[in-house]
Every structure is written in structure tokens, then in C-alpha cells.
Amino acid sequence: MKRLVLCCGSESKGDSLAFGICDALKKKLKRFDFAKCSDVFEMTEHLQSRETIIVDVVKGLKKTRLFRGAGEFAKTKTVTVHELDICSLLKMLEASEKKQFAIIGVPFGLEKTKAAKAVEQILTSLP
């Protein structure tokens, strides 16, 4: 079964870089399935079904890089379900299901072609 690359973002909020990466790579990298996701609750279905690599934009990141789990991110305070973000969701899933996730973080504001190339290099280096 192909690994899923789940590109997270939102067209309406100007957070569409991961979606552009998804479009650029899905025809090029046939050993992966690519999907777009804009809702953290929608993510749970994808994350529970098979091995998933998440691509998301990370503010404050200087270089595109691979994270091996949510524990590598700064702590966030989640008080209500309205404040639930990807990091909080992954931490809960890792704790409850003993799953690990790979996350490719892309610097906010990086040009789409450069971002796609950097993500491609990381994906093709994975076993």
C-alpha cells in the first residue's frame, strides 16, 4: 500500500502553500498518494487508516525539514475544541494509539517551486 502524503492548509485563509506542493508532486511521485486536508477532524480518518506523512507550513521555520513526531514542536495550550490544531491532534493520537507520524514542515512564505523541490527531496529520501 502506498504511503499517504497529507497536505494541510486552507484556500480561504491564504494558507495554500501545502496545497500547491500537493498539486506539484502528485503526478511526479507515483509511490505516494497525495491528499489535501483543511480540517483537523478530517485528518483523523486519514491518520488512522495507513502510514501518513503530513506536509504543513510552519511559522518561524527557516528551512524545510522532517519532524519525527509532534513531540518536536513547541507546546501549545488547547483549552477548547475551537483551539485544536494539528500539533494538538497529533499529540493526542500519539498518546492514545502509540502511533508516530512524520511531518514535513515548510517555512511560511517560501516560494511554491522551492518548497515543492525541498519536500520532494525529503520524500524521495525516505525508505
Please give the pLDDT value at position 82.
40
Does residue 39 or residue 117 have the better pLDDT? Answer: 117
Structure confidence by residue, pLDDT tens digits, 53-106? 889 888 888 999 998 876 666 655 544 444 446 666 666 666 666 566 788 999
CATH architecture assigned to 3-125: 3-Layer(aba) Sandwich (3.40)
Distance between CA 106 and CA 5 in Å, rounded? 14
pLDDT confidence band for 110 (50 / 70 / 90): very high
Nearest to 120 by CA among 16, 36, 30: 30
pLDDT-derived band at 115, boundaries 50, 70, 90:
very high
From residue 108, give the alpha-carbon distance in Å to each of 2, 54, 56, 78, 105: 28, 15, 9, 22, 9
Total number of residues shown for the chain: 127
Given a cut of 90, whether residue 119 has pLDDT beyond it is yes
- The residue extents of the domains of the chain are 3-125
Q: Taking the CA atoms of 108, 66, 32 and 46 in sequence, report the sign of the dihedral they define.
A: negative
For cell 497525495, the residue is: 34
Reported as a pLDDT band with limits 50, 70 and 90, residue 28 is very high
